[in-house]
Structure 1
Amino acid sequence: MTHALSASSLCKRYRSTWALRDCDLALPAGRVIALVGPNGAGKTTLLRLTVGLLSPTSGSIEVFDSSPTANTPQALARIGFLAQEHPLYRSFTVADLLHFGASLNIRFDRRLAEKRLDSLGIPLDRKAGALSGGQQSQVALALALAKRPDLLVLDEPLASLDPVARREFLQTLMGAVAQDGITVLFSSHVVHELERVCDYLVVLNHGRIALDGDIDAVLARHRILTGPRSEMDDPRLGAVLEATHSDRHTSLLVRDGAAIDGWQEQQAGLEDVVLAYLRGSATIEKREVAAS
């Protein structure tokens, strides 16, 4: 299998604070990969290491078997990066931005960018600062895609967008994935949006990898079981990631458990699984709730 990104014992420290600790990853090429975690989990640090804006404190990271810090035109051409704030030169027209992008990137496809922007009704003679937030995000995405990258890295690209702009952004992105087969590494807090467009999951918490894998395979391993109030001492339950108790019933989110007579079983959703790992996958969390 070809890996778009490989990391081994990857660590990054800022003075006395560790942003990443002992991260091992092997992300497959040609996938849309969701990177999920709370604020301060290390997501932006991992993305900046991926695109070569930072260097590891220890360990290693490679993008398509090359160091992202190589800083050669050939290496940089393989990676596209879109930061959360969609940075654009506000006094530049859209046409100026396309000319600027073409002058800096050896694989830049200006015609592709113009075609995408024309389909969205974004005029080339309009200054970037005069565009709406959604239009600015689309221009930034068009610039990133025009690099013809093998890996496109997106850092919270939906954070400042309204629902309509968010949907248009995702439609443009998925159209590019379908057409060009690029790999996308996508950081976001909006889990239900990620479930619609991503097929691979990485959960990052406290600077460490809590979970990673194909989303369908991850969900297949996790279930929600509901039954009589229980102390969870049945080994058939597998790994209990989270438990919620009422006066009479217990609801469990389990990994790799077997079916138990008398317990109702349902498929765990992606948000259920992600939140369980973010709240503490190494321990069982018990929350007392009012009886229904």
Structure 2
Amino acid sequence: MSNTTAALEAAGLAKSYSRRKPAVLDECSFRLPRGRVCALVGPNGAGKSTLLRLAAGLLRPTRGTLHVLGLTPARARERVAYVAQSKPLHPQLTVAETLRYGAVLNRSTGRWDRRAAERIAYGREDGEGLAPDARIRTLSGGQRTRVALALAFGKRAELMLLDEPMADLDPLARQQLTGALMSAAEEGTTIVMSSHVIAELEGSCDFLLLVTGGRLRLGGEIEEVTAAHTLLTGTADLDASRQTVIEERPSGRGRTALVRSTEVPDGDWLAERPSVEEVLLAHLRNTRVPPFLTGDASPVSVQRAERARAQENAA
């Protein structure tokens, strides 16, 4: 498989669970290049878990298409590791038995990495890991998360889909998971982590997808997304026709505005580059602004259409 093939590529993706209710996901189009560590961000109920389950091949789209590593989700399943938010594990098995069961399930692929799985489950020599003979039913939520992540790492997948992986972990385990994920990413694994807590993902992700209300609002390299926005502080009037105003609110004697533009407007405006958290929160508070995707996050079909329009305009 060529490394130019996207890890995930969606076009008009939609998922409904009932004809009587609004779609959980609607008209989502994006591209996630391979080798990225992607933060899938959004409030509870935004559609993040549904998107991950679609990518894992556990659900079928109602409309649109989704390709995983250039294949349908069902055909890519052996190359994908998925950790659900509920962390379903057999309660009667021990940790060691669970890892052996994972090895059996992945025997046909020849990719199972026992050492990687045990490193996540048991930790290193300082004893911060789990006891091999501990039964799953006796483990805390964070400890069960550790076992589920051990299975995912043992699979040596090309794409890891992690639904709220940090939610149950204590600070030390969270730090250890971040280190393991960074090591996997350095070896070329693409990682998608969902969360509704932005601070959990800062510093560990280089790509983001923001979903709210079932629609994709932001997508792309984090550096490019933040660089496309400017945080303004001042007292002058903003000309909304010259830049997209994401949010404007009072600040001391003046006001602060986040705009989708790199140009500083006329007037007494102080311009700063916003943090990723400031950009995300502003878009979460104002869902009426048009979506924004950087070039890497645009599906190939969209890129082709844009090139065609550019060629027509140049002719």
TM value normalised by structure 1? 0.88
Partner of 2:219: 212
For 1:239, give the aligned amino acid: T
Runs of 4+ residues deviating >6 angstroms: none
For 2:102, give the aligned amino acid: G
1:206-242 Cα distance to aligned partner (Å, 9 max, x none): 11111101000001111210011x4423655x21100
SS in structure 2 at match of 1:196: coil
Partner of 1:148: 156
SS in structure 2 at match of 1:92: coil
Confirm or deny: 8 A CA contact 2:233 2:257 kept in the other structure. Answer: yes
Partner of 1:114: 118
Aligned pairs (5 A) from 1:157-236: 157-178=165-186, 180-228=187-235, 230-233=236-239, 235-236=241-242
**Separation of aligned partners in 2, 1:265 and 1:231:** 14
1:50-100 Cα distance to aligned partner (Å, 9 max, x none): 000000111111101111134xxxx32200001113222222111110111
Structure 1 residue 11, shift from structure 2 partner: 0.9
SS in structure 2 at match of 1:39: coil
**Separation of aligned partners in 2, 1:234 and 1:129:** 57
Name structure 2 gaps, 5 residues minimum.
291-315
For 1:87, give the aligned amino acid: P
Q: 2:273 aligned with 1:270, yes or no?
A: no
From the superposition, tell whether residues 258 and 115 of structure 1 become closer, same or farther in structure 2 (CA, over 3 Å): closer
Which of 108, 111, 123 is equivalent to 2:131?
A: 123
Partner of 1:290: none
SS in structure 2 at match of 1:187: strand
Structure 1 residue 154, shift from structure 2 partner: 0.5
From the superposition, tell whether residues 173 and 62 of structure 1 become closer, same or farther in structure 2 (CA, over 3 Å): same
RMSD across aligned positions (CA):
2.0
Partner of 1:3: 6
Partner of 2:299: none
Pick the structure with more strand per residue: 1
Confirm or deny: 8 A CA contact 1:239 1:257 kept in the other structure. Answer: no
Confirm or deny: 8 A CA contact 1:242 1:252 kept in the other structure. Answer: yes
Aligned pairs (5 A) from 1:233-244: 233=239, 235-236=241-242, 238-244=243-249
From the superposition, tell whether residues 234 and 148 of structure 1 become closer, same or farther in structure 2 (CA, over 3 Å): closer
**Separation of aligned partners in 2, 1:176 and 1:138:** 16
SS in structure 1 at match of 2:38: strand
From the superposition, tell whether residues 183 and 248 of structure 1 become closer, same or farther in structure 2 (CA, over 3 Å): same
Confirm or deny: 8 A CA contact 2:120 2:149 kept in the other structure. Answer: no
**Separation of aligned partners in 1, 2:56 and 2:289:** 34
Name structure 1 gaps, 5 residues minimum.
285-292
Partner of 1:102: 103
**Separation of aligned partners in 2, 1:39 and 1:234:** 31
**Separation of aligned partners in 2, 1:150 and 1:166:** 22
For 2:278, give the aligned amino acid: D
1:115-170 Cα distance to aligned partner (Å, 9 max, x none): 44342532222222333433322221111111111100001111223333322322
SS in structure 2 at match of 1:33: strand
For 1:117, give the aligned amino acid: A
Confirm or deny: 8 A CA contact 1:86 1:157 kept in the other structure. Answer: no
**Separation of aligned partners in 2, 1:247 and 1:201:** 32
Partner of 2:87: 86
For 2:232, give the aligned amino acid: L
Q: 2:59 aligned with 1:58, yes or no?
A: no
Structure 1 residue 257, shift from structure 2 partner: 3.9
SS in structure 2 at match of 1:157: coil
**Separation of aligned partners in 2, 1:143 and 1:267:** 40
Partner of 2:147: 139
Confirm or deny: 8 A CA contact 1:55 1:69 kept in the other structure. Answer: no
**Separation of aligned partners in 2, 1:202 and 1:161:** 23
Structure 1 residue 247, shift from structure 2 partner: 7.3
